[in-house]
Amino acid sequence: MEVYIVTGGAGFIGSHFIRHLMKKNKESLIINIDKLTYAGNLKNLEDIQAERNYVFIHEDISNAEAIKQIFAKFSPAYVVNFAAESHVDRSIADAVPFITTNIAGTQVLLQASLSCNIRKYVQISTDEVYGPLEPGAEPFKEDSSLKPSSPYAASKGAADLLVHSYNKTFGLPMNIIRSSNNYGTHQYSEKLIPLLIRNYRLGKPLPLYGDGTNTREWLHVKDYCRAIDMVLHEGRNGEVYNVGTGDERQNLEIAELLLALLMELSKEKRVLTKARAELIEFVEDRKGHDKRYASNWDKIKKELGWMPRLHFDEGLRETVEWYLERGLLKV
């Protein structure tokens, strides 16, 4: 039985990836290691808790001795590291947890992986490591230089370099995946889309940094899980893969699309132009806020045949419907 260790599997993307793996690999054993910080939620996986090929372990990836014992016990073939502190604002307020988890924790996993003769280690990274992209500039490629702006992005960039070094120095088979902004169900409410949905349901303003023109690509989490699976099993050893969509949207556009959907699906009678003035609130911009991110993802398309399947408008509607059905307003 092949063993997969997935760290951070109680979080947003990690829980979706575990579901993806379990549907495809019913005879494999999935080990979910998660510290269960504020953003981790075992309810994301409550319907598979009793499955015979799923094991949850409550542990911190920076605990070297515990991780060493887990790897020795299960001898994983594959390791996928989602575990991370990921909220930029929190990294600005206090960078220490980001250094501990994102850098030191990654090193612990790499060291443990060396002892198990694993087939592949995959580091889940972010397009934020490239830093800001000027308007009209060509999207970043995998070999673009790293110029992170926030402590969060810097910690992820440092982790990427550690992973690369373990490949070059010790021969650890690995890939690094850098994706654009993910969205979908089960996302913690500090992130843009669930935050705006929650505030709307609570009758609170929908906050947007600056003038709302910050631009991001948006990728549905299910499409991202397919990409991770392909890279894990088919990606060339030592390579970095960008994952994006080419569909760039300003935050203000996201807010207006959400308002229209929420009014439609909630049977609200307010007029969109009036609601925008009433509900969208422009707040002081975050320190070092990057204006634009965009990635060139030709590599994963050409080498592995990956393409996004879900158009943003369709995926956003599905996401809003899910949140409204469940009334998820947790802060």
CA 157 to chain CA mean position, Å: 15
Quickly list H helices, the chain: 12-24, 64-74, 88-93, 96-98, 106-114, 151-170, 192-202, 221-234, 251-265, 272-279, 298-304, 312-326
Residue 19: partners with Cβ closer than 8 Å, 6 or more residues away:
45, 48, 225
Check residue 215 and report its DSSP letter.
Answer: E
What is the C-alpha to C-alpha distance for residues 30 and 329, in angstroms, rounded to an integer? 30
CA distance to 78, 97, 176, 288, per residue, from 251 (Å):
36, 28, 27, 17
Count of CB atoms situated within 10 Å of the CB of 203: 7
Q: Which residues are catalytic?
A: 127-128, 152
The sheet carrying 248-250 orders its strands as 181-183, 215-220, 248-250
CA distance to 13, 213, 227, 244, 308, per residue, from 257 (Å):
23, 14, 26, 20, 20
Nearest to 316 by CA among 265, 242, 271: 265
For CA atoms 62, 243, 153, 236, the dihedral sign is: positive
Q: Dihedral, CA atoms, 180, 185, 191, 197, nearest 10 degrees? A: 130
DSSP secondary structure letters along 3-49? EEEEETTTSHHHHHHHHHHHHH-TTSEEEEEE---TT--GGGGGGGT
What is the C-alpha to C-alpha distance for residues 312 and 254, in angstroms, rounded to an integer? 10
